Structure 1
């Protein structure tokens, strides 16, 4: 598996809108993105001025395919307009995972 952890710094009053964008992506785009497994958006306890996202894909190829898709770039630009700065991305191979259902 492959994925990204990303740090977002919303403009004041934009957290709810960012959350709506993520919910919309999950409804509208995720079902069409080959290799997408899961996405999470965290509100860290240590900082109310930051959000942390996690995106998990089957492999690097499916992650990169989504990242270079013009439709994804449109979504990114909508998100970026709600942030004070560019997100900080940490992409990498997932080398261990555990899931309990």
Structure 2
């Protein structure tokens, strides 16, 4: 598997809108997408990390280079204080633990 982790800061009051945009990404069933995780930091509830996993690097790159993803990215920026800091890489382990949202 392959994916990216984005570190970002959400604009005040914009978390619900950001999460709605990320749900639209999930509903688009982008080929190769495995999972999307969003972390809200305890120390600062406007700081978040978004992790997106793909089946392989080729699926990730195909999405990253697509016009549809470029549009989704620019829509997402509306809810952030600035561009995310991206960290791409190979996923070397997935433990498959279920996650409950609050």
TM > 0.5 fold call: yes
Does 1:43 find its partner at 2:40? Answer: yes
RMSD: 1.2
**C-alpha separation in 2, matches of 1:100 and 1:18:** 24
Partner of 1:77: 74
Corresponding residue number in structure 2 for 1:10:
10
Query: Which stretches of structure 1, 4 residues or longer, exceed 3 Å deviation after superposition?
Result: none
Return the alpha-carbon distance in structure 2 between the equivalents of residues 55 and 100 of structure 1: 16
Aligned residue in 2 for 1:21 = 21
- Would you say how many aligned residue pairs link Structure 1 and Structure 2? 98
The structure richer in helix per residue is 1
Structure 2 distance, partners of 1:49, 1:82, is: 11
Quote the Cα distance in structure 1 between the aligned partners of 2:25 and 2:94.
24
- 1:88 equivalenced with 2:85 (yes/no): yes
1:85 is paired with a residue of what secondary structure? coil
Instruction: List gaps (5 residues or longer) in structure 1.
Output: none
> Do the aligned partners of residues 14 and 100 (structure 1) sit closer, same or farther apart at CA in structure 2, a change above 3 Å counting?
closer
TM-score between both structures, scaled by the size of structure 1: 0.89
| Unmatched tracts of structure 2, length 5 or more | none
Deviation, structure 1 residue 46? 2.1
Q: Secondary structure at the match of 1:24?
A: helix
Superposition TM-score, scaled by structure 2 size: 0.89
Counterpart CA distance in 2 for 1:22 and 1:34 is 15
